[in-house]
Structure 1
Amino acid sequence: MSALEKKDLNEIERDAQKLLEEKDADMRIRNYNGFFSIGVTILLIGWTIFQLYFNTLGMMDAITLRAYHAMFLMLFTFLLYPGYSTEKRKRKFIPIQDGLLIFLTVLVFGYLVLNYQRVAMSGGFLNQTDLIIAGLGIILVLEAGRRTSQNLAILAVIFLLFNWFGKFVPGSLGHSGFTLKRVLSHMFWGSQGIFGVGIGVSATYIFIFVIFGSFLKYSGFSQFINDIALTLVGRSPGGPAKVAVLASALLGMINGSAIANVATTGTITIPLMKRTGYKAEFAAAVEAVASTGGQFAPPIMGAVGFVMAEFLGINYTQVMIAAFLPAFLYYLGIIVSVHLEAKKLGLKGLSKENIPNALEVIKERGHLIIPLVVLIGMMMLGYTPLFSAVAAIFSTLISSWFRKETRMDLKTIMMATAEGARGAIGVGVSCVLIGLIIGTVSLTSLGLNFGYVVLEVVGEGQLFLGGFMVMIMSIILGMGVPGVAAYVIVAAVAVPVLINVGATPMAAHMFCLIYACLSNITPPVAMSSYVAAGIAKSDQTKTSLTAIKLGITGFILPFFFLNNPLLLIGSVEDISLLLTIRTLLTASIGVICLAAGTEGMLIKECSNITRILLIIVGLFAIDPKLQTDILGIIVLIIITIIQMRSKEHALTI
């Protein structure tokens, strides 16, 4: 790489960092100097050790672990996240007001740990002090949410107010109202509010897998993935775009943050795509849509799959298998789209000298794949995801020592640990805020009442109409919210609705998950698209619309598996191997046709009528029914023959 290219890349990385700080609160953190900097790092490492120990070998009841986790989350939020955007990021000391908030945090959550057993044994009887502590706890949570996830904090406030003002809402969604004491008791001292499923997920799966992702990053795994992707598809037409798809998919499923993934891999892939000949909007859209899909791509699914397994009460392996086909088809659609766009523009792949040697890449960094093998292998053998993830973290450290170039020394280990813990704060606070939302849903029966309203509007058995309403709701509730948090919110409200109109539990959960994740590329709050557009210097709206076109499979496929769970391989019992293979092949053909129709390119550029026919063929082939598969394939053969003959005729002329 020349000095000029390095300078340009550094400028792009700085711009990406600035964009990420504007769009993602996780990056708007304070940096302390001197003693305080060392102190914060030690605290973050101590928190990590605490979480790893009590998620594996240590013994602690669920509420106590969640209370300590919440205390650490609030403490680090007030320590690291500024209270207002104009505050200077470089500091020597903690601001006085934040020092007071930290003191209140330790007081409130420490009081909960010491008194929870007393309250539980008394049947939930609360004295005046208990109620004051509960009120302070909720205020602290909302303030922490304002600093880390403002959109979600506003949503939590709206839901919280519904506990009192819902009595003024007419119809089935309204309720008779609740007293302040009842709300405080339910939200803070109960097991379905702040200390419910949201923080339970954060204290276990999310924290552990964020640490795992950080260790993979510092071991050099990210560079290994980029190099492998280059060796596989770098020289094919539109190679850089395909590299972006593969690398972003693999890294996105580990870190679970589409925005952060765009800002890291996008600084390399987007300029490379632009230099190859792709338009800025297209290059940005490819990175945004590829990073977004990682959140529902197995085997890790950004830790969401483990949460889904808990909700469904099944083994994670079943969730992983069920997610395989939707994720595969989603990324197949993107790969085909970028390939056809490259053919349409007459683009070539990268030159041979810019492609790393595959054998050298494997020799130098192939050992870095060991942690993923350990993780998946241990889960397949029946170990819990948490135990497997902790083992994978230690295997990352050990495998990095196999070669000098990747060896993680003590300083690197400390940096990986501290960065991972910092990365868990924002999404962790989001999960605490979710407690206020889910607590309101359970206390007011909002979810159940909403289901009744949907049934009244769409009628019983109207699966597609009900699914359409849930799709809109899932996208809205998921806007600007981390993937795991978005799924938990949507699952609490929308999954019962889908089940009531006839969907299977697995299909309902996967439906809500995919649309909650796709809110990252759906206007008006398409966070991933906007960050990618900033890196590419492209129009935000055009980038988002291009991303929707590239990810069209993700928007269409859930409606098919909602009605026919065959597309969720492994979720249907007694399915034959032959039927599974046919479903996979015909659905793949359908996705290719969809991509060809939206891109306007198959063997050659297509007329408008051919594009429409290809889209129809795609829908027919995705549907697992044999009749639609046969009809779709027949039409595709006819279109292909016509295009081949017309192309040959054009060449002879």
Structure 2
Amino acid sequence: SRFFIDLPLAIAGKSVGGPAKVAVIASGFFGSVSGSAIANTVSTGAFTIPMMKRAGFRPHVAGAIEPAASIGGMFMPPIMGAGGFLMAEMTEIPYVQIMKMAIFPALMYFLSVFVMIHFEAKRHGLYGVDDPDAPTAWQILRKEWFLAAPLVIIIVMMLMGRSAGFSAVVATASCVVVSWFTPDNRMGWRQVRDAMIEGGRNTLIIGATVGVIGIIVGTISLSGIGLKFSDIIISLSGGFLPVAILLIGIASLVLGMGVPVTAAYLITAVLTVGSVSRMIAMHHFGVPLSDMEIDRQLVQYVPWVMISSHMIVYWFSQDSNITPPVCVAAYAGAAIAGSDPWKTGWTSFKFAKFLYIGPFLFAYSQAFLLHGDILAIAMTWVTIALATVAFGSLTMGYLACGMNIVEWVIMAVATVILFFPGLVHAAGIAVPDLVIDVVGIALWGVVFAMQKARIRRDPTLTLPVHEQRKLQQTGA
């Protein structure tokens, strides 16, 4: 795990808000091979949270950033927690295909947290770690490149078509070989035995949990409760897809308060995927999913409909980690930071808000999940990346300086139309998506120009907020 800290520290440690950006990159690395947001928070947070506090981040902010970044690891291939493998099992879609489709949404989640950290640091005048003797990223890679070998092996083997189990076994065995390159961490027979015992214990816990979940899922399937629940969702939402997505989010949050996130995903998926996939199919293609499966022209869209439905549920299943009242990952971060758990939980919720944007993008944007022609995918990805930056600025209320209400509203409009150009079409305005994107970017530019004009009139607006307060008190 130290490698996952050292490399991000060399990449982003000296930038604005560097220690917090290190937490995001490190959580992305560690989370890609970890199956738990809490484990991710504790493992990387032990290094990054004290570093953030020393850099000037308030304790509850430092404790909140790490869990907000850590749940992104649950979306990041190749492991994706346990969700990707369960998704492949339930949809009968190859895991490699799911992994490819999940990469861009995961990157956008991390980008959103990264951008929010940048604007938080700009607002409070927080800068990076200035250590002239610190090694560069290239020096770390040249010295410790082999530590990334197990991760590379599992990705390459899965892309070659090997099963997840076989790839995991080979990658695990490679960890032993890799340890021999470092004398301090060299594994002998005793260490290998202890690791196997610990792995067996963890497997027993997982097996028992999955067994209990299997009973619940079987009961739901055989009794027909799942079909009835799907009908209830369609009825309550009035057939309106955004409302159905919100209902799934609420159900997942409530369920996640009492059961692990994997169990929450499985149970919610069994209950709701049928209804949401039906509604997505009707929204985009005007026919139920069952009709798409026998239509030669529409059958190619079936995997996207299935994965988008499951991704909606899977992303929402992570919200109990960072959403009060039961935000276990945020509480773990608060314990390390020594901050108020409740305040840390709500701050973590703020930094993780893209978690609630992603499900709507899954439902309305095929290119978001790598479906469509190359040009459409490329254009959509660029637009969503710009929208994600705008969303981070909007959430923190900061661009070149703090936003006033007019600037905030303009930025909100820019963010919404960049994320969801279909809303403009729904309003009866028949213009190409490219025109909508240009308008959204132009509105973003308007906000920036307005702020630059305010800064020219009052240069103190760019000062950290605590210095602005001092000036106001002095002036008073």
Q: 1:530 to 1:354 in 2, by over 3 A?
A: farther
Alignment correspondent of 2:426: none
For 1:125-274, list aligned pairs within 5 A: 222-274=1-53
Contact 2:121/2:127 (8 A) holds in 1:
yes
Alignment correspondent of 1:582: 379
Q: Deviations over 1:576-614 (max 9, x none)?
A: 222212111111111111111111211112113322322
Alignment correspondent of 2:251: 473
Question: Gaps (5+ residues) in structure 2?
Answer: 282-304, 423-432, 462-476
Alignment correspondent of 1:640: 448
Give yes or no for the alignment of 1:596 onto 2:380. no
Alignment correspondent of 1:520: 321
Contact 1:274/1:280 (8 A) holds in 2:
yes
CA distance in 1, matches of 2:191, 2:217: 39
Alignment correspondent of 1:611: 408
Alignment correspondent of 1:492: 270
CA distance in 2, matches of 1:263, 1:443: 40
CA distance in 2, matches of 1:367, 1:650: 52
Give yes or no for the alignment of 1:501 onto 2:268. no
Q: Deviations over 1:256-290 (max 9, x none)?
A: 11112222221221111111111111111101111
Q: Deviations over 1:515-544 (max 9, x none)?
A: 001221111111111111122122222212
CA distance in 1, matches of 2:182, 2:280: 54
Contact 2:367/2:381 (8 A) holds in 1:
no
For 1:358-507, list aligned pairs within 5 A: 358-460=137-239, 462-503=240-281, 504-507=305-308
Contact 1:262/1:288 (8 A) holds in 2:
yes
Match of 1:542 among 338, 343, 356: 343
SS at match of 1:472: helix
CA distance in 2, matches of 1:514, 1:584: 19
Larger Rg: 1
Contact 2:116/2:396 (8 A) holds in 1:
yes
Q: Deviations over 1:425-444 (max 9, x none)?
A: 33332212212211220232
Letter in 2 for 1:491: A
CA distance in 2, matches of 1:492, 1:385: 23
Q: CA deviation at 1:406?
A: 4.1
Q: 1:540 to 1:251 in 2, by over 3 A?
A: same
Q: CA deviation at 1:331?
A: 0.6
Match of 1:328 among 102, 107, 128: 107
Q: CA deviation at 1:651?
A: 4.2
Give yes or no for the alignment of 1:308 onto 2:87. yes
Letter in 2 for 1:490: T
Give yes or no for the alignment of 1:623 onto 2:420. yes
CA distance in 1, matches of 2:190, 2:264: 35
Q: CA deviation at 1:323?
A: 1.1
Contact 1:475/1:515 (8 A) holds in 2:
yes
Q: 1:481 to 1:309 in 2, by over 3 A?
A: same
SS at match of 2:458: helix
Contact 2:34/2:81 (8 A) holds in 1:
yes
Contact 2:309/2:362 (8 A) holds in 1:
no
Contact 1:234/1:355 (8 A) holds in 2:
no
Stretch deviating more after TM superposition (403-412 or 267-276)? 403-412
Q: Deviations over 1:532-571 (max 9, x none)?
A: 11221222222121111111111122112212322111xx
Contact 1:564/1:624 (8 A) holds in 2:
no
Stretch deviating more after TM superposition (225-234 or 402-411)? 402-411
SS at match of 1:580: helix
Q: CA deviation at 1:353?
A: 4.4
Contact 1:622/1:629 (8 A) holds in 2:
no
Alignment correspondent of 2:352: 551
CA distance in 1, matches of 2:84, 2:66: 23
CA distance in 1, matches of 2:332, 2:118: 24
CA distance in 2, matches of 1:446, 1:334: 38
CA distance in 2, matches of 1:251, 1:319: 20
Letter in 1 for 2:454: S
Q: CA deviation at 1:310?
A: 1.7
Letter in 2 for 1:618: T
Q: 1:624 to 1:372 in 2, by over 3 A?
A: farther
CA distance in 2, matches of 1:267, 1:402: 25
Contact 1:475/1:519 (8 A) holds in 2:
yes
Q: 1:600 to 1:402 in 2, by over 3 A?
A: same
Moved over 6 A (4+): none
Contact 2:312/2:358 (8 A) holds in 1:
no
SS at match of 2:318: helix
CA distance in 1, matches of 2:405, 2:233: 37
CA distance in 1, matches of 2:237, 2:141: 55
Q: Deviations over 1:346-394 (max 9, x none)?
A: 1110012473343442233210111111111111111111111111111
CA distance in 2, matches of 1:425, 1:531: 24
SS at match of 2:346: helix
Stretch deviating more after TM superposition (473-482 or 628-637)? 473-482
Alignment correspondent of 2:458: 650
Letter in 1 for 2:445: I
Stretch deviating more after TM superposition (272-281 or 485-494)? 485-494
Letter in 2 for 1:541: W
How many residue pairs align between the two structures?
427
Letter in 2 for 1:547: S
Q: Report the TM-score, using the length of structure 1 for normalisation.
A: 0.63
Q: 1:415 to 1:619 in 2, by over 3 A?
A: farther
Q: CA deviation at 1:457?
A: 2.5
SS at match of 1:501: helix
SS at match of 2:81: helix
Alignment correspondent of 2:430: none
Q: 1:359 to 1:556 in 2, by over 3 A?
A: closer
Percent identity over the alignment is 37
Contact 2:33/2:151 (8 A) holds in 1:
no
Question: Gaps (5+ residues) in structure 1?
Answer: 1-221
Q: Deviations over 1:295-318 (max 9, x none)?
A: 111222123212211211111122
